[in-house]
Amino acid sequence: MILLNHYLPGAIGAITGLHAGYYSKHWGFGLYFEAKVARELSEFLMRFDPNSDGIWLLVENEKIYGSVVIDGIHHREEGAHLRWFIVDQSLWGRGYGRELLGKAVGFSKEKGYQKIYLWTFEGLNRARHLYDSFGFVVAREQIGDQWGKEVKEQMMVKSLA
């Protein structure tokens, strides 16, 4: 397994597939969620700027098994946005999630960002444990449907200042 810090052909489909597969099976998310991931990830990659944005992919034999992104476009106003963090379930417990998250946080520190934020929802306990271990805290909770299904959304923030 290697960790790459650049786009690979097929990344949009692979990252979307990882998200769609997991969230459909475990949370009942459907077409709306899958299309949202594909659209927003595509839009991000089309405007990707290595001076402010980062992407890390967990790869083996040209297959993508995990990802994380730092979207820095609004870092001054809102903070760096951590997005599309996922590791294939077959690799859980091996430290790959911690490695991906560490790359994203390290990049954000190197860029001098004041904070990182992410949106998640209640019930993603493994991810939540990892976020907590990196010093993210829940800054806001609300009932919402930005994933296409009503959940208790949580905005988590990590101060880097």
Between CA 98 and CA 114 the distance in angstroms is 21
CB atoms within 10 A of CB 45: 15
pLDDT (0 to 100) of residue 118: 97
Band (pLDDT 50/70/90 cuts) for residue 78 is: confident
Choose the weakest-confidence range: 6-10, 24-28, 72-76: 72-76
6-24: pLDDT as tens digits: 999 999 999 999 999 999 9
Q: The whole model's pTM is what?
A: 0.94
> In the chain, what are the domain boundaries?
2-113
Between CA 122 and CA 144 the distance in angstroms is 11
Architecture of the structural domain at 2-113: 3-Layer(aba) Sandwich (3.40)
Band (pLDDT 50/70/90 cuts) for residue 161 is: confident
